Amino acid sequence: MDNNEMNLYSEFNDGDKLFKTLLNIYDDFYNIKTFEYNDISIDYYQYLYCRNMSNFVLLVVYSFENEYPSIFFTWGFEELNLVWDIPSSGVPQEPSYLRDIIFHTLKKYIPRVHLKTVNPISIVKMNYTHKEKTVTHDGIVFICSASNLSEFRIDNSDCRGMFIPLNEVDYSKLTKSFNRDVINYSIEYIMSLERFSQNGHKEINIQKKYHKRYVIHEKIFKRIITLIGYLYKYNSSITKKAYKQKILDKIPKDTQYLLDIAVGDDKFSFDYCSKAEFVILNDVSWESTTSLRKHKKLPKNILFTNEDIINANFKSQSFDIVICKNCIHHFSSINELEILFKKIVAWSRGRIIISEVLHPFEVKGFWPKIKDFYYRNYLRDVGDNLLTKKTFNSLIERYFINDRFIVNIEYHLTVMGINCLVTIDKKNDSKGGE
């Protein structure tokens, strides 16, 4: 899928094997809790369903937009009693994009609510019996953040549930035991999330609001801006292609696992795949990773994820390389950056690569100021925290210039401005901790 899905479809023609492979990948890279239930008796029709749909997804949809954090529950009746359930869907035997299954399931229950991030948080293993026959039914629980609740109306004919505040969840209405366990764990997870300025989500909302402007920008203005940048002579400038090659050169050939925490919609990230055995490309924007997934030459060793990186749940020391590219200026406080740096240090067992474009006023002349005015006033870009060279150096010194790391800083002038390229290598005695 676009969020959380490896491009394995040319390798598997069996949906069950594909799902099991994805399940193992999540288990390898994420701090995921497993719930297992054995010897559950089911009737004949349930047995047939589990045979045809041996896997499933559960979607815990939450939002912080109400006065109190809330979770979406579907509703129904059992013996005239109101019961609650979690949006779910079976996964067909033929290979299917989990992203599409998640998207259509949410649209089925809450069509007007916008999906923001989607994170796998747990695995459910069900072992059913019917007479002397057994069948397994395995599922992945995704926790999904939602927005646009102002458009959600409980009296709409297309509404099939309701958002319930976390402090009002009635577990007695959850008749399935695994639902109770999943919801209890999900509430703990939601309450532990960091809630900051959410600049990444603001940018997504702005791109939706000014969609036509961004389309015009991509098709016309972006090319003009790039051309003017080349004509605007720099004595020591290098091409964007040459700068990207410098980033690739920082990735050792023996790299096994690589994570890019904010890939955007840049196809340059596909070049990582020739340097690493397995690559996870994350971005908070569902639309960005969707556009990448549609590329004709999509590499096979990719897993796309859509997570707010501040709250991502990767295992410690899961990656040889962690790349942080042009995202620092989207964080609005030192507290956010401190959490970000602690996380990427924990996830990396070797090298961290930071690439960040600096404030346009670091380049002398009129053109940087015109370009800055265009991005801020026409595209309404929310990256308000572009750093000066002095501030960026101070930031790196504050967190990484110590006896735990070996740091190398380079500055390169490109058509986009001054780019800072930093490699941070963990010393052998510091690879175990944050």
Gap between the Cα atoms of 185 and 173, Å rounded: 17
Q: Of 139, 173, 191, at which residue does a domain stop?
A: 191
Beta bridge partners of 213: none
Q: Of 158, 191, 224, at which residue does a domain stop?
A: 191
- Do 272 and 404 lie in one domain? The reply is yes
Beta bridge partners of 279: 258, 302
- Do 113 and 239 lie in one domain? The reply is no
Residue span of the structural domain in which 387 resides:
199-430
The confidence score (pLDDT) of residue 374 equals 80
Alpha carbon distances (Å) from 45 to 51, 111, 136, 175, 381: 10, 30, 15, 19, 54
Phi-psi map region of 430: left, alpha, beta (phi>0 left; psi -120 to 50 alpha): alpha
- Do 167 and 221 lie in one domain? The reply is no
Kindly state the DSSP code that residue 386 receives in the 8-state scheme.
P
The confidence score (pLDDT) of residue 234 equals 52
Give the up-direction half-sphere exposure of residue 383: CA atoms within 13 A in the CB hemisphere. 18
Mean pLDDT by runs of 10 across the 434 residues of the chain is 42 64 88 92 91 89 84 84 88 70 84 82 93 91 82 57 90 88 94 68 67 80 76 66 93 94 88 92 83 81 87 93 91 85 95 92 77 77 76 92 93 86 85 52
- Do 120 and 248 lie in one domain? The reply is no
Please report which helix (H) or strand (E) contains residue 293, including its range.
Answer: helix 286-293
Strands (E), 50-132: 55-63, 70-78, 81-85, 88-91, 114-130
- Do 187 and 203 lie in one domain? The reply is no
> 10 Å Cβ neighbour count for 153?
11
- Do 232 and 148 lie in one domain? The reply is no
Q: Of 148, 173, 191, at which residue does a domain stop?
A: 191
What pTM was estimated for this model as a whole? 0.85
Beta bridge partners of 260: 281, 323
- Do 296 and 186 lie in one domain? The reply is no
332, 391 in Cβ contact below 8 A? no
CATH number of the domain within which 84 lies: 3.90.79.10
User: For the chain, how many structural domains are there in total?
Assistant: 2
Gap between the Cα atoms of 355 and 377, Å rounded: 25
Q: Which residues contact 304 (CB under 8 A, 6 or more apart)?
A: 1, 2, 3, 4, 5, 280, 281, 282, 289, 292, 293
Radius of gyration, alpha carbons of the chain: 23
CATH number of the domain within which 232 lies: 3.40.50.150
- Do 298 and 417 lie in one domain? The reply is yes
- Do 146 and 274 lie in one domain? The reply is no
- Do 165 and 244 lie in one domain? The reply is no
Gap between the Cα atoms of 350 and 259, Å rounded: 12
Q: What are the backbone dihedrals phi and psi of residue 75, each rounded to the nearest 5 degrees, phi first?
A: -135, 160
- Do 115 and 255 lie in one domain? The reply is no
The confidence score (pLDDT) of residue 152 equals 60
- Do 230 and 150 lie in one domain? The reply is no
Gap between the Cα atoms of 181 and 177, Å rounded: 6
Q: What are the backbone dihedrals phi and psi of residue 423, each rounded to the nearest 5 degrees, phi first?
A: -110, 130
